[in-house]
Structure 1
Amino acid sequence: MRHKDIRRECEKLWAKNKYYVLSKSQKIYLEIREYLKEKELDVIWVNEKIQETRDMKESKKDFRNAVLHIWGYFKKKASTIEKQTLFNILNEYMEGKNNQNAVIEYINTLLKKYPNEYLEKSTLLTGEQYETMA
Structure 2
Amino acid sequence: MKERRETERLWAREKYRVMYHSQQHYDRLREALKRDAGIAEVKGLIEDAIAIPPTKGSMMNAFDHIWGYFTKGCTNAERDRYANMKQEFKAGNLPKEEMLDHLKSLAVLHQQKYLLDSTLLFPAPN
**Alpha-carbon distance in structure 1 between the residues aligned to 2:24 and 2:3:** 24
Structure 2 spans left out of the alignment, 5+ residues: none
Runs of 4+ aligned structure 1 residues displaced above 6 Å come to none
Name 1:12's counterpart in structure 2.
Answer: 9
**Cα pair distance change 1:110/1:62, threshold 3 Å:** same
Aligned residue among 101, 111, 115 for 1:115: 111
For the Cα contact (< 8 Å) 2:108–2:116, is it kept in 1? no
Report the secondary structure of 2:111's partner residue: coil
TM-score (norm 2): 0.92
Offset of residue 112 of structure 1: 2.2
Structure 1 spans left out of the alignment, 5+ residues: none
Percent identity reads: 32
Aligned residue among 80, 87, 90 for 2:86: 90
The root-mean-square deviation of aligned C-alpha atoms, in Å, is 1.6
Count of aligned pairs: 126
For the Cα contact (< 8 Å) 1:25–1:53, is it kept in 2? yes
Offset of residue 58 of structure 1: 1.8
For the Cα contact (< 8 Å) 1:24–1:63, is it kept in 2? yes
For the Cα contact (< 8 Å) 1:6–1:41, is it kept in 2? no
TM-score (norm 1): 0.87
